[in-house]
Amino acid sequence: MKYTALLAATTFAIASPALSLVTPRQSSLPQLGGVNTAGYDFSVVCTVPPADQFSHFAGEGVNLFRIPWQLMTPTLGGDIDENWFSANYDPTVQAALASSSNTYVIVDLHNYARWNGQIIAQGGPTNGQFASIWTQLAAKYGTNERVIFGIMNEPHDIPNVATWVDSVQFVVNAVRQAGAQNFLLLPGSSWSSAEAFPTEAGPLLVKVTDPLGGSDKLIFDVHKYLDSDNSGTHPDCTTDNVDVLTTLVSFLQNNGNRQAILSETGGGNTDSCETMLNSELALVKQNFPTIVGFSVWSAGAFDTTYPLWVAAVQPNLP
């Protein structure tokens, strides 16, 4: 993907008219555009994202970093590994926040609603064990309004979606009881599919309530890649997702005038992906604040053989 594509996607000075005639709600968040910084999302061997990359990206207009992390606790329901957190993850978060005064960070729990393959509250961890991670993170980041909590990355093959939504509500309640007022990203099912959201988890997730009152700080978390099977594993793109995201916008605006964020999208270093990604992100920008922003997967220090690692979004680092 050529760098010009990313720059065009993250420059928000000129906004086009929204596609819908519904008047969108006012947003407490600015229009967000940025990248996922892969590395901590690998459960055994992690790559620590170099701190220098955040100022590089911020200088190019990025104002959002999503920082995935698996296995935040060494034992199920236990404490976060403070040595690892203090030496690695938190310095990464702080470097991202320090890259500019308007940068936001998504702290992303990258576990697919599972522990050792077992699904939360459906044969696996209890809701209390799940919420324990977030109450600990609330104690660490609950006073920083620029830290967004990504409750769970890509739940999938969930036997009972309603039970999963109950788990999401449990965590929302626990985070608020811990005193945190951060924005919360609520994930659906089917790998957080933006396409499935309006007919699958969406009608249930819109009923999740915030003890703070209102729904301004509850943002739906959706993903949509541009390759043939929406897996993000192919270098070529076959869709610009305009139809899918238009349907999503209509659903959100007709169900309480709600908001979502496209926290994962992207394609390979090909002409088809440059063209289609630009079309997709133009629609995202046009529909702010219903779609509050996006985050491209993936950028920064990473394995250069990975199909969606693109040299265009990798700064020149030693």
Residue 288's CATH number: 3.20.20.80
pLDDT, position 299: 77
Q: Is position 80 within any domain?
A: yes
Q: What is the pTM of this model?
A: 0.91
Q: Is position 59 within any domain?
A: yes
Q: Is position 63 within any domain?
A: yes
Residue 285's closest CA among 2, 7, 3, 4?
7
Residues designated catalytic:
154, 264
SS3 helix, strand, coil % of the chain, rounded to 5? 30, 15, 50
Q: Is position 186 within any domain?
A: yes
Residue 269's closest CA among 222, 308, 238?
308
Q: Is position 245 within any domain?
A: yes
Q: Is position 318 within any domain?
A: no
How many structural domains comprise the chain? 1
Non-local CB neighbours of 232 within 8 Å, separated by 6+ positions: 225, 264, 266, 267, 297, 307, 308
| Strand duo 104-109 + 147-150: pairing | parallel
For the chain, strand residue ranges (E) read 32-37, 64-69, 104-109, 114-115, 118-119, 147-150, 184-187, 218-223, 260-265, 291-299
Digits of tens for pLDDT over the chain (318 positions)? 444 445 455 544 333 444 445 565 677 899 999 999 878 876 556 778 888 889 988 998 999 999 999 888 889 999 999 998 999 999 999 999 999 999 999 999 999 999 999 999 999 999 999 999 999 999 999 999 999 999 999 999 999 999 999 999 999 999 999 999 999 999 999 999 999 999 999 999 999 999 999 999 999 999 999 987 877 778 789 999 999 999 999 999 999 999 999 999 988 888 898 899 999 999 999 999 999 999 998 876 666 676 665 444 444 433
pLDDT, position 13: 37
pLDDT, position 25: 63
Q: Is position 272 within any domain?
A: yes
pLDDT, position 231: 77
pLDDT, position 22: 58
pLDDT, position 316: 41
pLDDT, position 230: 79
Q: Is position 115 within any domain?
A: yes
- Residue numbers of the domain that contains 211: 3-13+21-313
pLDDT, position 48: 85
Contact 175, 138 (CB under 8 A): yes
Bridge partners of 294? 33, 262
pLDDT, position 143: 96
